[in-house]
Amino acid sequence: MTQAWQTRTWDELKAETQARADRGAYPVFGITPADAREALAMITSLDPDEWGSAWMTIGDRYRERAAAAEQQRDIKATQDALLMAWRHYTLGRWPVARSRKKVEAQAKAKVTFETYGRCVDPPIETVRIPFEGKEIVALLQAPRDVAKPPVLVSIGGSDLWKDTVAIQSRAFLRFGIAVLALDMPGTGDAPLAVAPGAERMVSAVLDHVQGRADLDGRRIVVRGQSWGSYWAARTGYAEVGRLSGVVFQSGPVHHYFQPEWQREAFKTKEFLFDYVPSRLHMLGQPTVEAAFAFMPTLSLMDLIQKPTPPMLVIAGGKDTQVPFEDFLLLMRNGSPKHAWVNPEGQTMGRSLTVKDDDITAGVILPWVRQRLGV
């Protein structure tokens, strides 16, 4: 059923993946054009196992390089090779592990990232927070020589999870800001499915931060990316008194959840491939029609008039995944907000000339520093 929504043939997908690798674009971040060309040459069809196997082959080679560098006590070479191995394993399981080889790639990505996190400085620590008989698994990194740093709680999206968020957030450390990265509901290691009220998972993370002597629980900003922004917003409405700010970057609000929008969004070519399997997995829905029926229950319309902490809202004027009207809904309702819009931008505000890292460094980081008083 989901194949009917496939937007690219294999030849088209191969060309688009290579083009994104050439310019370092989502979701082929950090993978060299040469490595991409080699992996893509191993694939002949849209079979998910072929995809997972090819990227794992390159990832395994980098793991071997990391092991050799570790034997030689070359810390920098070990870190670089582990990071590259993780990037390939992550792309191998992307966007969702729905086949044997993709599951294998996902397992390798997790183990490799934990190894990488232990050998970088500052380290990336796995934190396990008890929650409703289960646990929230988060990734904490704190700046050196800062006694009680303020905290950015950063929520991953539907297809790039807490490990990717942790890598993208390293830039905050040099400004004395700790980062706690976590998966949004319905993805990765999250203990809750997608449903209104699942933001209580993030509230439990705030409890954890405020209970730690080594973090400043009085200064917390919650950042969401793409679908993670939806949960950042819901947390902002629920925890207005405990947050210094919320970053909302191309998340859904109301129009997104309506079937008439989804019938077009499911055809988007912004998403590299397998948009529909990714969405069904995240939503916990068995079919496209079931997803269309479920999504209106997630609308934020009953919340948007309520106060929030200071909020930075980011959008792309040409986003085909999230309607621009959702950005306008947030801007026209509730508390005063700050906004940044790329008129030529797609989802997350990115475009051919404005990359994700540009938005983080030039827009989000200065705003977060201001809100945390850094």
Asked whether the predicted pLDDT for residue 1 surpasses 70, the reply is no
Helix (H) or strand (E) holding 228: helix 227-238
Residues composing the chain: 374
Packing angle of the helix pair 75-93, 100-119 (nearest 10 deg): 150
Mean pLDDT rounded to a whole number for the chain: 95
Other Cβ atoms closer than 10 A to 277: 18
Q: Summarize pLDDT for 130-166 with one digit per residue, the tens.
A: 999 999 999 999 999 999 999 999 999 999 899 999 9
Q: Hey, what CATH class is 122-374 in?
A: alpha beta
Q: What's phi and psi for 316, nearest 5 deg?
A: -110, 130
pTM for the model stands at 0.93
Domain ranges of the chain: 10-120, 122-374
Sheet (strand 134-141) strand order:
125-131, 134-141, 178-182, 151-155, 220-225, 245-249, 311-316, 337-342
DSSP H stretches of helix in 24-135:
33-41, 48-71, 75-93, 100-119
Buried b (16+ CB within 10 A) or exposed e, 107-135: ebbbebbbbbbeebebebebbebebeeee
Asked whether the predicted pLDDT for residue 4 surpasses 80, the reply is no
Counting residues of the chain whose pLDDT is more than 70, the rounded percentage is 99
CA distance 111 to 169: 20
Q: The tokens of 279 are what?
A: 């969405």
Q: Is residue 3 very low, low, confident or very high in pLDDT (cuts 50, 70, 90)?
A: low
Of 21, 164, 180, residue with least CA distance to 106: 164
Q: Summarize pLDDT for 301-344 with one digit per residue, the tens.
A: 999 999 999 999 999 999 988 999 999 999 999 999 999 999 99
